[in-house]
Amino acid sequence: MQWDVLSFGETMIRLSVPVGERLEMTSSLEVRIGGAESNVAVALARLGRRAAWCSVLPQNPLGRRIAGELRWHGVDISPVHWVERGRVGIYFLDTGAAPRPTQVLYDRAGSAIATADPDSIDLSMVARARLLHLTGITPALSPACREIARRLVERAGQLGVPLCFDVNYRSLLWTPAEAAEALAPFCRAASVLICGRGDASTIWGLDGSPDQVLAGLVELFHAPVTVLTLGDEGALAQTGDGQRFQAPPVQATVVDRVGAGDAFAAGFLHGYLDDGDVARALRYGVALAALKLTLHGDLALVTLAELEAIVAGIPRAIVR
């Protein structure tokens, strides 16, 4: 295979307000890029994995900014479909400090990927990957994006390429009821299903202890590997044969929470890809998420040596 992981999704320009200022009054904005699927690709590429990212980008400075930065980190952007006209989505980060929360303002409607023609995406690229990674953000962007994601999953199924699907609910894009209906087929198709505890509650009404929420996800979708992320409490997983695994949290000084969930997904996949060791994958996931919390921006700019040093201190645990 040419790639370990192929992802598809939107990457936006991130404009961040300096700490201590407000968006409505600031005189400067920090420019970065961010998108769930490309965040995963960057993290994996920096860990030495062969990662590729597909999207739709306009031939303008912002499109080139996104492509150039991903390429610099080692992500293969050859699957990107370029269009002459269109726009890149933008999001503004009004950076908070306790007790004031960080707030996000999106300006992404009508982006090049949201208005893409599904027939413009070359599905044959799926055959070049060991694993396809998608999130629940992409189907929420537009009917066209939902159709592209559906076709990618269908082709992966035909080729026997496993799917990692991260639910990643965004309340600013759609309602819980809309998400529940649209995401169910993707969850059922996943070989690895990743869902946050809050998303499981919001979308499917799964509440209770982490064990109970995980059991609810397993009962709903029967994924070969189901992963429940618990934020500051670590993560749980269950395999198709009923084994349960748990990874404790890694303490971190929080600099920027954005992208921590994507870092978890990347770390999990890095630990899982070679031999399907779920316990090890969980440890890599929580470790990379913790390291991401210490960094500004969406991207987990972490080396393999840094990650291995943290993982070495996380005990292996199996919950039966």
Domain range 3-319, CATH architecture: 3-Layer(aba) Sandwich (3.40)
Q: Does the annotation mark 262 as catalytic?
A: yes
Q: DSSP state, 316?
A: P
| Spans of all domains in the chain | 3-319
pLDDT per 10-residue tile (average), the chain, 320 residues: 96 95 95 98 98 98 98 98 97 91 93 97 98 98 98 98 98 96 98 98 98 98 98 96 95 94 98 96 98 97 97 84
Answer whether 92's CB lies under 8 Å from 105's CB: yes
Taking only the tens place, the pLDDT of each residue in 256-289 is 999 999 999 999 999 999 999 999 999 999 999 9
**If 0-12 CB within 10 Å is exposed, 13-18 middle and 19+ buried, where does residue 199 land?**
buried
**Residue of 4, 94, 166, 262 marked catalytic:** 262
Answer whether 239's CB lies under 8 Å from 272's CB: no
Q: Which pTM does this prediction carry? A: 0.97
